[in-house]
Copies of this chain bind each other. A is one copy, B any other.
Amino acid sequence: MHELEAIIHAADDAINREDLDAVMDFYTEDATLVVRPGLNATGKTQIRKAFSAIAEHFNHSLHVTQDKLIVVEGGNTALVLGKAEIRAKDPTGPEIFIEREATYVFARSLDGAWLCAVDNSYGTSLLRA
């Protein structure tokens, strides 16, 4: 397994536990999260708020996994493609299941750690939005 696959699985696990401190450790200081088509969150403060709002929106039942991951490294950056599966099991509402072909950009910091710089779970579907 590529190092980045383990990192993304660990990030998903942190999201699913709603451990936002741990989630934020996966991002660069000036990362961008595509919250939904047309709405980006940039920087840790905005991204944390977005995750908090998303958790609230799904009544704290969000469960994210990656069915398949492909890593294409180019020096100190990497493109990661993921088949993201998003479930929400909120007992008060209908069960939600969303599949997305996600695109993530990771950058290797000076100490060698990979951090997420662009988190776009919508992938190329933004071209059709």
Interface residues of A (CB under 8 A from B): 28-32, 34, 40, 42, 68, 70, 72-79, 81-83, 101-103, 105, 107, 116-118, 120, 123-124, 126-127
Contact = CB atoms under 8 A, between A and B. Distances in A.
Contacts of A120: 72, 79
A51 to B, nearest CB: 16
Contacts of A105: 74, 77-79, 105
Contacts of A116: 74
Contact of A78 (B34, B82, B101, B118): B118
Secondary structure dominating the interface of A: strand
A67 to B, nearest CB: 9
A31 to B, nearest CB: 5
B28 A107 contact: no
Q: Assembly of this chain: how many copies?
A: 2
B124 A77 contact: no
Contacts of A34: 72
B101 A70 contact: no
Contact of A81 (B75, B83, B126): B126
A74 B42 contact: yes
A75 B30 contact: yes
Contacts of A68: 127
A28 B75 contact: yes
